[in-house]
Amino acid sequence: MIQDTEPRLRPSWLLLGPAFVAAIAYVDPGNVAANVSAGAQYGFLLVWVIVVANAMAGLVQYLSAKLGLVTGRSLPEAVADHTRTSTRIAYWLQAELVAMATDLAEVVGGAIALHLLFDLPLLVGGVITGAVSLLLLAIQNRRGQRTFERVISGLLLVIAIGFLTSLFVEPPSASDVAAGLIPRFEGSESVLLATAMLGATVMPHAVYLHSGLARDRHGHPPAGRQRRWLLKVTRLDVGLAMLVAGAVNLAMLLVAATNLQGRDNTDSIEGAHAAVRDTLGPTVALLFAIGLLASGLASTSVGAYAGAMIMGGLLRRSYPLLLRRLVTLIPALAILAIGVDPSRALVLSQVVLSFGIPFALIPLVRLTSNRSLMGEDTNHRVTTALGWMVAALISVLNVVLIYLTVRG
């Protein structure tokens, strides 16, 4: 148990880390595909989506971490505690579908990066990405969560450098960026991309995972000063992690809007990479590909970690790591094997993810608003209202997307 004097003895930065693992989900290859496509097709039109999505993600991730700290239960475990067996199984099936979409984006993104860097076939690159993810998960199993956090945070730094560099080489117009902060759309395709960007930013598996990460790292402190201190540190952890993730996401869109708009063949990551090489030079293109590779390798291991937590929490059984990895890896490899356009698959996978967000957000808001469960750390009414607004906004956007797509 954490000693009562510990907050005075340990600097808060030593307690940071869980949010940076969860933040990997917000800079995965699906983000690259969605953000680059949005910038290349619509310029600065959807800058506001990045800003809004990042703000929503910060709120959601803090609520998830708070649930784990206060209750000592991960979100999947808490959902299982409050549902019947048949409901739990149905809930797990939709979560598993979301996990497959997550792995699709991450494995395909890693495969594309290996193809760009080493000209490897996409299927071979997908197999390598899956194998590396198993290695990273083995580090977590054998060396513990803190070592895993350091490795993932290091990869997050590589991702940030890879994508932020190009932003400084050719800075965007401040007036154009400011104009992009005004919420608006231009047709059903822009709604599709906005939904994909939301799915790539507010990630369901990151919402499930963060509750367990915070619980496993900080334990289940009793109500009082210890818990208040850890919740304060958690807010700092989430704020810093979301700042990094938001900056990377915004950089992707701004670089595409500044350098790729109006160019041919920028609707794929390979085409965007070629355009970056032509406009900003081979060094920046190399950093772009390295950032994409780090994104794919880190995010697929974090995604598999989240999948194991979801499966174990909802089904109340422990499954071998290899089986857990294969459940979502095989569909991703099948997509690569049959030759589906990988960049389009990435964007559509993010749309699938966005449909899974309400299933994570609704129980999260309900549980953290339950005074009998959360005690003195129950959500403030304003926090609860904001949580419901996030869930409603995403749900409405999905309905609009369906309507516009069918009508078109």
Assigned domain for 9 exists: no
Q: Which of 45, 373, 3 is nearest to 189 (CA)?
A: 45
pLDDT in tens, 168-204: 888 999 999 999 999 999 988 888 788 878 766 788 8
DSSP E strands in 17-88: the ranges are none
Assigned domain for 361 exists: yes
Q: Which of 227, 201, 224 is nearest to 215 (CA)?
A: 227
Assigned domain for 11 exists: no
Residue 261: other Cβ atoms inside 10 A: 15
Domain at 209, CATH number: 1.20.1740.10
Cβ atoms of residues 356 and 202 within 8 Å: no
Q: Locate 81 and state its tokens.
A: 């505690």
Assigned domain for 255 exists: yes
Alpha-carbon span 316 to 180, nearest angstrom: 46
Q: Locate 75 and state its tokens.
A: 């979100």
Assigned domain for 12 exists: no
Q: How many domains does the chain have?
A: 1
Position 317 scores a pLDDT of: 84
Whether the pLDDT of residue 3 is over 50: the answer is no
Cβ atoms of residues 236 and 12 within 8 Å: yes
Q: Locate 173 and state its tokens.
A: 């117009």
Assigned domain for 7 exists: no
Eight-state DSSP code of residue 261: T
Cβ-proximal residues to 347 (8 Å cutoff; 6+ apart), any chain = 30, 33, 34, 37, 192, 193, 196
Assigned domain for 18 exists: no
Assigned domain for 294 exists: yes
Position 402 scores a pLDDT of: 66
375: left (phi over 0), alpha (psi -120 to 50) or beta: left
Cβ-proximal residues to 55 (8 Å cutoff; 6+ apart), any chain = none
Residue 151: other Cβ atoms inside 10 A: 17
Confidence of residue 2 (pLDDT cuts 50, 70, 90): very low
Whether the pLDDT of residue 247 is over 90: the answer is yes
pLDDT in tens, 49-70: 999 999 999 999 999 999 999 9
Residue 183: other Cβ atoms inside 10 A: 13
- Give me the residue label for tokens 């590396």: 132
Residue 392: other Cβ atoms inside 10 A: 13
Position 10 scores a pLDDT of: 58
pLDDT in tens, 387-397: 999 888 887 87
Alpha-carbon span 184 to 42, nearest angstrom: 11
Top mean-pLDDT range of 10-24, 122-136, 253-267? 122-136
Position 1 scores a pLDDT of: 45
Segment 373-383 mean pLDDT: 95
Residue 345 is part of which domain span? Answer: 23-407
Position 9 scores a pLDDT of: 42
Task: Give the predicted TM-score (pTM) of the model.
Answer: 0.90
Confidence of residue 33 (pLDDT cuts 50, 70, 90): confident
Cβ-proximal residues to 222 (8 Å cutoff; 6+ apart), any chain = none
- Give me the residue label for tokens 């992690």: 241
